Each structure stands twice: as structure tokens, then as C-alpha cells.
Structure 1
Amino acid sequence: MTRIFVSGLEQEIGTPVNVVNRTGGNGVVGHSAISMARPDGYTLGVASSEFSYFRALGMSDISPDNFDILSRLATIPAGVTVRAGSPWRTVQDMLDAIKAGRKGQFTASGSGIGGSWHIALAGLLRAGGMSADTVRWVPSQGGAPAMQDVVAGGISLATCSPIEGKGLIDAGQARGMAVMGRSRLDILADLPTLTEQGIDWTFENWFALVAPRGLPEELHRRILEASARAQARPEVRSMLAQRGIVAMWETPEEADRFARDYATTAAELLRALGLAKA
């Protein structure tokens, strides 16, 4: 997603942009590097939603306070996917079975413990009238390995993005039952939303364009304008849509407010899961 956006940004500013992956610490390393860089416009970052609740997990003091948040760039909705042979035909079938079973009888995966897809599951269970930890979470290195475990029968369901399971769904090895976004995905148009199924819960992972806190006003304006044009380029939006990524652009005020509201919701669910440290 970052590289697609950068391909448009390079066209707008007329200079190469180097994309650097900073892995480690479940995102803490990369976000720390952004927050501690000089606010001179030469270092920008694409922050993942986790930076808004590092404090709640006790992983780092990093929060939205450390960044100038320019806009969210994209959202990727969570989903509900099961193996093709599952007896569950709808999400309500699944919720009824979980409610009738014992705590921890069913398992789910899609990310590490406390990751976005874990929070997505916690909210879904709460919306279904259960405690957030009714289903046992099995940590994974991401949606793709989690989907392999679903197909193999090792876990009951995955709440990662259905895009991560599209190949297995298309091959008839997995069954997508819902997308947790506000609307259906163009490339999985037959997959209904939870709200269409009468379940009041939406969850979308998100990514924001950020800079170290304290960009000079004129520099902030120039970067913001160029970035908005880059994100609006037809080829950028098309490439994102082809991958099931929902492109977006908003004002810095809207983005900052959303990040803080999201942090509150995430912290509440993490407390319900017994994972919050603060």
C-alpha cells in the first residue's frame, strides 16, 4: 500500500522517494524511527493502527501525540472466514455455536495477540452478546498463515481481511462469511457485511500518513497538498482497489480525531481481553 501511494507522490513532487521497512517490536521500532526523526519534511511515515494503542498494551509511550497525522491513506476491513467444510453457513450460525459451547472451545487467528484482527474478533463477540475472550486466540505471523491453519482444520475461523484468504476462497478451500467493513469489497462483491446480516459491528484496519510532530506550517501545507494529489491519482486508486484496499483521504483534523477515538475503543476491548496494561 505504501509503495503504491509513493508511486503517485513521486510524480507529484518530481523526486524519488525511498521506502524503508523498519520491522521489529510489533511495530514499535518503525513508529519510533518516524517519531524521533527531524520534522524537516524529509522523513514521513505510514503508520499502522497499532500505534494508537501501544500505550494500552504497555509496549511503548508512542501515541498519536508523537505525530503530525496528515490523513488516513487506506482501510482494510476485517472479515470472517472458515474452512469450506465448516457447518457454519452464516456468521449468526457461528455466533450461536460459540455461545452454546464452552469458553475456549473454538479458536481464531489472523495476527499476534492484541493485534488488529484480534480486536476485530473481540468486538464481534461483544456484538454477539458474549465476552470478548470467549474464543481462544491463537497468535500467528499474519493472515496468510492463519488462513492455512483454517483450511487445515487447526483453528475454527480467521478474522483477518478476507483479501488475505481470497485465493483459498476462490479455490473452494475456504468460505468467506462476512466482511466487517462499512460496505462490500469490489473484488469480493458476493461477501456481505456484518451489518447486512443484522450484526452491529464494523472493524477496519487503517494506515495513516504521518510526520514527526512539529512540521513547520508552510512545509506541512506543501506536503499535505502534494500527498492529497498523489492519493487522488486514478492509477493509485485503481491499484489499491485491485488489492482490496479502500483508498481514502481526509483532513488532518479528521484523521487526528479518528486516531484518538479509535485508541479509546481499542483500549476498551484490550481491557476486556485482559491485555491492557494502562
Structure 2
Amino acid sequence: MMHRRQLPWLAGGLLAAPTLAMPRLVRAQAWPVRPVTMIVPWAAGGGADSVTRVFVSGLEQEIGQPVNVVNRTGGSGVVGHTAISMARPDGYTLGVASSEISTFRALALAEISPDSFDILSRLATIPAGVTVAVASPWRSVRDMLDAIKAGRKGQYTASGSGLGGSWHIALAGLLRAGGMAADTVRWVPSQGGAPAMQDVVAGGISMATCSPIEGKGLIDAGQARSLAVMGRKRLEVLPNVPTLAEGSIEWFFENWFALVAPRGLPDDVLRRVLEVSARAQARPEVRNLLAQRGIVPVWETPEEAGRFAREYATTASDLLRALGIAKA
């Protein structure tokens, strides 16, 4: 979250302005004079890593310096997010935070929250979906919800992430939107969407609620069928897959990734980072590369990004309590 700060030369009087402003002006013009580190709290090849590397390809063009992507994994994202929050706030260490910054406290994993960072903007969203094996009798999410409601608790299983992860929260909200308890379907923890999709195809679980993009290869091969996406519009790369809203189901869920910095960036550096990052994200090649991967590019103000993260934390914590796994 970014707080509005009064610029010191506005408070120092007219005579003091030149001497106070000059060092900060020089620093703003100079940043960056050396390579920048971008920390990703998740493994290479995953959603956060993909978003970061596409964005960085544009950022390097804007600043004329290398941006080194460093994957700091471990602790369900705690290690990398902690490394970002504890870095020197000078603009030379930035990071791409995932939605877990809004759930760490609820799950008692770490004292990390949206307020642990200067959140500059969300960079991208990836909508959840519902994907089943091609042999499944369900042809729509409505068919699936009717079957779950008619069955016994725990009869059907789902996966896509660890316990309490984003795709688990997506399922919990969908079940509540369908008039059922959030834990009606038994969640099977996995290492991510791709392994979960393999389990779906093999018949080990009933459905996956990760992004359908993670199973696109299996969908294209005719081994899996995506019933719906939980975004507000259809994905360009899966144009035949409807949204939940098209089936009159009022639940939206998109995993998200945000450009963040350690709290306390100097105002001049902050303005410069925002300026070049906005240009990088607006580059056509960046937006096209994200869209081709089923990722929705985003750019917004720090105020909008911080407000979204805090509201998401409220919704996610409520669903985690409904699932019986919230610790705080």
C-alpha cells in the first residue's frame, strides 16, 4: 500500500527549495544507474514467473538496464515475499507479489499483508475455471453443481493448488454461489494446476478449478473439457468457453499478481518506477504476449491496487473461515 507523502521541498520555504530539491532531482533522473533485481516468490515456469518475465522484457527496454529475475521459493510463498518486504527501499529491488499476500495472516503462515509493501499496480489477472475429464457426464457448471448438491458431502473431489490456495478459494466461492457449504467438495492439495489437470484426466479427481490455461494442452488434445471460466469475460485463447455469468452464476474469481516494492521508496524514485513501469506494461508486445498465454494485463493506480488487495483479503479470509482452515 502506498501512502501519500508530502514532498519536503514544498514544506521548506522558497529559499530552501533549490538546495533541497536538487539532490532528489538528480537521484530521480539517475535511477536506475545499475541493474534492477525483480524477486518472484514462486518457481520458474509458473503463473507469477510467466507474468514477471513478460513484464520485465518491456521494463528493460524502458530503463536501458538489465532486470534480473530471481525466483525465491519456499514456505508457500513466504520466503520470497519476505525477501521483497525486507529489501532496501531504493528501487533496485522490486518484486511481483501474488494474491497470497492477502491470506498469509489468515492461514497463520506469516505476518505479511498488503500493508507490508508499496503496491504499485496489479500487473495481470488469471481467471479460475472449471475443467473436467472429457468422459465426465457434466456438460456445464450448472450440471456439475446440481450433481454436487444431490450427492453427499465429500463425494466429489477437486484440486489445483495447496490447501487454502487461490484455486481452493475459487471453488469455495463457487459452491457458496451455488447454494452449498464452501467445503461440500473435498479438496485434494496439489503442487499446482498442471499436476491437478493430469489427475483430472487420469480420473483421480472430479474437477480442477485452476485456470483452464494450465490444462489447455489437454483440452486441445481432447482429453479434458473446460466448462467455464470465472472471469468477467471469455478468454481470447479459449473463446468457446463461457463465463459463469453466462450461466447465471454470480461468482467471479481471478488470481492476481502485483508489482510491489519494499515500503518507503523515496518519492522521486517511486514516481520514476511508476512512470517506466506503466510504459512497459503498455507496450504492445508485452500485452500481446500476456494475452497469448491467457493472462489478462492490468495497469492501475497504487490507490486502486491497494484497495483491491485489501478487499480481496476480506473476501478470501471469509471463505477460508467457511472452509474451516483459517487460523486467524
Give the alignment's TM-score, normalised by structure 2.
0.84
1:233-259 residue CA offsets vs partner (Å, 9 max, x unmatched):
000001111100000100000000000
Is 1:275 matched up with 2:322? no
Q: What is the rounded CA distance, in whole Å, between the counterparts of 1:157 and 1:214 in structure 2?
A: 43
Summarize the alignment of residues 205-224 of structure 1 with structure 2, pairs less than 5 Å apart.
205-224=255-274
Summarize the alignment of residues 149-168 of structure 1 with structure 2, pairs less than 5 Å apart.
149-168=199-218
Runs of 4+ in 1 over 2 A off after TM superposition: none
What letter is aligned with 1:82? V
What letter is aligned with 1:34? I
Q: Name the counterpart of 2:85.
A: 35
Q: Name the counterpart of 1:115.
A: 165
Q: Name the counterpart of 2:47.
A: none
3-state DSSP class of the match of 1:18?
Answer: strand
Structure 2 portions without partners, runs of 5+ = 1-50
Q: Name the counterpart of 1:10.
A: 60
Is 1:77 matched up with 2:131? no
Q: Name the counterpart of 1:239.
A: 289
Which residue of 131, 136, 141 corresponds with 2:191?
141
3-state DSSP class of the match of 2:312?
Answer: helix
What letter is aligned with 1:203? F
Q: Please state how far the C-alpha of 1:52 moved relative to its aligned partner.
A: 1.1
Q: Name the counterpart of 1:49.
A: 99
Q: What is the rounded CA distance, in whole Å, between the counterparts of 2:252 and 2:80 in structure 1?
A: 27
Q: Name the counterpart of 1:101.
A: 151
Aligned residues: 278
Structure 1 portions without partners, runs of 5+ = none
Q: Name the counterpart of 1:184.
A: 234
Q: Name the counterpart of 1:250.
A: 300
Q: What is the rounded CA distance, in whole Å, between the counterparts of 2:227 and 2:324 in structure 1?
A: 28
Say which one has the larger Rg.
Answer: 2
What letter is aligned with 1:19? V
Q: What is the rounded CA distance, in whole Å, between the counterparts of 1:14 and 1:130 in structure 2?
A: 53
Cα root mean square deviation, aligned: 0.4
Q: What is the rounded CA distance, in whole Å, between the counterparts of 1:146 and 1:156 in structure 2?
A: 10
Q: Name the counterpart of 1:88.
A: 138
Q: What is the rounded CA distance, in whole Å, between the counterparts of 1:187 and 1:25 in structure 2?
A: 33
3-state DSSP class of the match of 2:258?
Answer: strand
Which residue of 82, 93, 109 corresponds with 1:59?
109
Give the alignment's TM-score, normalised by structure 1.
1.00
Q: Please state how far the C-alpha of 1:53 moved relative to its aligned partner.
A: 1.1
1:133-152 residue CA offsets vs partner (Å, 9 max, x unmatched):
00000000000010000001
1:132-178 residue CA offsets vs partner (Å, 9 max, x unmatched):
00000000000001000000100000000000011111111001000
Q: Please state how far the C-alpha of 1:65 moved relative to its aligned partner.
A: 1.0
> With CA pairs under 8 Å and 6+ residues apart, which has the higher RCO, 1 or 2?
1
Q: What is the rounded CA distance, in whole Å, between the counterparts of 2:91 and 2:59 in structure 1?
A: 13
Identity %: 82
Q: What is the rounded CA distance, in whole Å, between the counterparts of 1:180 and 1:133 in structure 2?
A: 18
Q: Name the counterpart of 2:181.
A: 131
Q: What is the rounded CA distance, in whole Å, between the counterparts of 1:264 and 1:223 in structure 2?
A: 29
3-state DSSP class of the match of 1:46?
Answer: strand
Q: What is the rounded CA distance, in whole Å, between the counterparts of 2:312 and 2:241 in structure 1?
A: 25
Which residue of 306, 314, 317 corresponds with 1:264?
314
Q: What is the rounded CA distance, in whole Å, between the counterparts of 1:64 and 1:88 in structure 2?
A: 38
